[in-house]
Amino acid sequence: MCGIAGYILKKPGKNLSRNIDVFLNSIAGRGPDDEGVCLISRGERSYKFYKTNKTVAPLSGKLPHIDDNAAMIAHDVAFIHSRYAIIDLSEGGHQPFKSADGSVIALFNGEIYNYIELREELASLGVKFRTASDTEVLVEGYRFWGEELWPKMNGFWAVVLYDSRNSSIVFSRDRIGVAPLYWRETKEGIFFASYLEGLLSSFCGDVRINNDVILGFAQTGIKDHDGTTFYSGVKCMDAATTCILPLNRHALEEAESKKYWNLPEARMSPGDISFKEAVKKYREIFFRAVELRLRADVKVAFELSGGLDSSSVVAAAAILRKSDITTYTVKIKGADEEPYARSILRKYPVDYHVLNDLEDDFINDYGEFSKIMEEPYDNPNDYSHNRMLQDMKREGVDVVVTGAGGDEVLAGYESSFWPKAYSELRRSGPLSFIQADWYEFCRRFKTLKSTRQTLRHYAVDPFKMIGRHFASSKGTGAKGAVSSALNYEKRYKELSFHEQTLYHFKVALVPYYMRSSDHFTMGIPIEHRFPFLDYRMVEFGLTMPVSYLFKNGWTKYILRRAMEPYLPKKILWRRKKMGFTFPYKRYFSANRTVFKPLLKYLDDIKFPAASFGGYDELLRTNPALLWRLISIAIWAEYNKKGRKNG
């Protein structure tokens, strides 16, 4: 991963080094290994490359400095890059990157995991390569295949290309939206970047906060669901999309936008594929997805929570590599999963590390961490996750493979997915009807705790259960004000099971986590990789029959059977998964004197905090909502005190 930024101006200019410096400073932390700049005149079909103070030594003597006004050309396009080297650590991966014939120049943030296969295919067609970088595969692939390149790539990316053959600018973003690409349109032109900060600087013009997004986040925890941000006019490009801006076009509405990939529209039935065939195919795709994500010229390590997903990734990697597997897990007070994670050692000799008490410093770091996240965020666990990754980075890790995404692909969040799955299975015929009710029985009585809750629900205290249900539906605040996010959430129960799974990919879970993950990883920097979000895993997983996902009281049943030969039973057939949690009540009760005064900053943005409830009330009834209000307040304080205009 890297940092990219730049602009496309309506009128060419020359003395714009201050604007470039603002962007370089805003993305510098994403790319500690190298920097580069290219200025382009679309009208003249000319360009020139420049160095900065951080450009790698082998190239530094060959390029003029970007601060040398005499060397700066009149231009309407600037490409700005900071590099975090993962593949081909030499100067061969320097960006902006020019094709062999000089017709294509690229800015690239991301990784192409199947770059070796694409390189071989291009070589067989006569393409000559000068480097070992995946960036060259991207550039030469676009030169040869054009728009047919994007569906061929397996990886994640935010790309901006200049194609001198027609003087167009091409934007592209990966299928899932792992790599962010923010953009802002002003009267001067289009500005884009990997981070928001550069787009909020004074040379881009005044910026206002987005009240609908703020309210929606407080009401639902949903953000990043429609490309909007907490700043009006600053948006994130859609995933799985390309936009082509022809010569003499300077507005996004004039760009040709197209989707090159879509999520599956429907699911298969058991008659389309047997369960045995599905398990075999799923295992094959999964192992290939993990294998591709082991490719790097730096140290790769693994997050290991002790749950099914991360343990499956580690097991697959251990089988594929046979050695050199390093894992990290976390001991959390009140939710310790380390004994489960440790059980992987019974099968594989991994280099096993345990981290402790990662949330303890949050009270001192929340302000600085808010700058990294750039917007309010849904869970302080993002900070704990960041601390975990910082510890890994200090031990020499540059790439981290994670099990995130498995629950979204295979409907693992039982409370979100099972109610609609249950009703659809019961309508699918006698066998499915029986299976649905058997799963429901097993679910309600699979643990001592769930058995007690079930008995209480039916026999002991039904009226209190109903009262608690209605109480939990309150708290949207703002005296009935309805945000776009709340509208999305209200429609959730009306969706079919398959539509609900797509909802979490398009609206609720995946877009938010991808943007958050990018910020809390690249603020270090360290690269996150997601085998479960390989597009083939998504395509296959989202077409699985419902009965292959829920069976005998178990969620993600197909994954359990696929990994049955490779995982300890203690992990494979766990009854309850805790995950990396944050102790809301304990933490915000113990640190009330620090966090409660922050809520005063909500008044500065005219946020209706009182309609949501007070600090102590929410601490008792809805601590997750309390945190969202605190997070908005921290962000509001930074906007008032800390942001410096460029």
pLDDT digits (tens, 9 = 90+) for 201-230: 867 778 899 999 999 999 999 999 899 999
> Does position 576 have pLDDT exceeding 90, yes or no?
no
Longest dimension (CA), the chain: 84
Question: Which tokens is 270 given?
Answer: 């058991």
> How many CB atoms sit inside 10 A of residue 55's CB?
23
| Domain 275-410+519-545+557-572 CATH (choose: 3.90.800.10, 3.40.50.2300, 3.40.50.300, 3.40.50.620) | 3.40.50.620
State pLDDT tens for residues 492-531: 999 999 999 999 999 999 999 999 999 999 999 999 999 9
Residue 72, judged by CB atoms within 10 A of its CB (0-12, 13-18, 19+), counts as buried
CA 122 to chain centre: 30
For every residue of 559-584, DSSP letters joined together read HHHHTTTTS-HHHHT-S----S---H
State pLDDT tens for residues 245-271: 999 888 888 899 999 999 999 999 999
Question: Which tokens is 283 given?
Answer: 């295992």
pLDDT of residue 334: 64
Question: Which tokens is 407 given?
Answer: 């629950």
Count of CA atoms in the C-beta half-sphere (13 A) of 137:
24
Question: Domain-by-domain residue ranges, the chain?
Answer: 2-259, 275-410+519-545+557-572, 585-634
Tell me, what DSSP letter sits at residue 346? Answer: G
Name the E strands within 218-259: 234-236, 241-245, 256-259
The CA-to-CA distance between both ends of the chain, in Å, stands at 25
Strands 256-259 and 351-356: unpaired
> Does position 164 have pLDDT exceeding 80, yes or no?
yes
pLDDT of residue 471: 39
pLDDT of residue 335: 66
In whole angstroms, give the CA distance from residue 224 to residue 205. Answer: 23
Question: Which tokens is 638 given?
Answer: 């930074």
Angle at 196 between CA 194 and CA 197, to 5 degrees: 110
Sheet with 351-356: strands ordered across:
351-356, 326-331, 300-303, 399-401, 527-529
Count of CA atoms in the C-beta half-sphere (13 A) of 220:
25
Question: Which tokens is 479 given?
Answer: 């005296």
In whole angstroms, give the CA distance from residue 92 to residue 95. Answer: 9
CA distances from 605 to 256, 478, 601, 610, 640 (A): 36, 14, 7, 13, 9
pLDDT of residue 174: 98
By the 8 A CB rule, do 30 and 1 touch? yes
State pLDDT tens for residues 382-436: 998 999 999 999 999 999 999 999 999 999 998 899 999 988 888 877 777 677 7
Task: Count Cβ neighbours within 10 Å for each residue of 441-467 and write b for 16 or more, e otherwise.
Answer: eebbebeeebeeeeeeeeeeeeeeeee
SS3 content of the chain, % helix, strand, coil (to 5): 50, 15, 35
By the 8 A CB rule, do 10 and 189 touch? yes
Question: Which tokens is 66 given?
Answer: 């970007």
For every residue of 8-34, DSSP letters joined together read EEEEEES--HHHHHHHHHHHGGG-BTE
Residue pointed to by tokens 């809750």 = 453
Q: What is the mean pLDDT of the chain?
A: 90
Which of 305-319, 452-466, 485-499 bottoms out in mean pLDDT, i.e. has the lowest? 452-466
Query: What SS3 state is found at 98?
Result: strand
Tell me what the mean pLDDT of segment 93-99 comes to: 97
| Domain 2-259 CATH (choose: 3.60.20.10, 3.40.640.10, 3.40.50.2300, 3.40.50.10800) | 3.60.20.10
Comparing 400 with 638, the larger pLDDT belongs to 400
In whole angstroms, give the CA distance from residue 352 to residue 344. Answer: 9
Tell me, what DSSP letter sits at residue 73? Answer: P
> Does position 595 have pLDDT exceeding 70, yes or no?
yes
Q: Report the percentage of the chain scoring pLDDT > 70.
A: 91
Name the E strands within 33-85: 34-41, 46-50, 75-83
Strands 300-303 and 326-331: parallel
CA distances from 485 to 30, 218, 347 (A): 30, 10, 45
> Does position 58 have pLDDT exceeding 80, yes or no?
yes
Residue pointed to by tokens 């609720």 = 508
Sheet with 168-173: strands ordered across:
97-98, 104-112, 155-163, 168-173, 241-245, 256-259
Specify the DSSP element, H or E, that contains 134.
helix 134-145
The backbone torsions φ and ψ at residue 361, rounded to the nearest 5 degrees and listed phi first, read: -90, 5
Count of CA atoms in the C-beta half-sphere (13 A) of 9:
19
Residue 611, judged by CB atoms within 10 A of its CB (0-12, 13-18, 19+), counts as middle
Which of 113-122, 301-310, 466-475, 538-547 bottoms out in mean pLDDT, i.e. has the lowest? 466-475
pLDDT of residue 449: 61
Please state the length of the chain: 646
In whole angstroms, give the CA distance from residue 628 to residue 475. Answer: 12
Residue 286, judged by CB atoms within 10 A of its CB (0-12, 13-18, 19+), counts as buried
CA distances from 327 to 29, 62, 401, 548, 564 (A): 25, 42, 9, 30, 21
Tell me what the mean pLDDT of segment 465-494 comes to: 67
> Does position 102 have pLDDT exceeding 50, yes or no?
yes
Model confidence at 481, pLDDT cuts 50, 70, 90, reads: confident
pLDDT of residue 440: 80
Q: Which candidate, 392, 330, 347, 350, places its Cα nearest to that of 524?
A: 392
Query: What SS3 state is found at 379?
Result: coil
Question: CA dihedral in degrees (253, 256, 258, 260; nearest 10)?
Answer: -140
pLDDT of residue 19: 87
Residue pointed to by tokens 């398990």 = 279
pLDDT of residue 643: 59
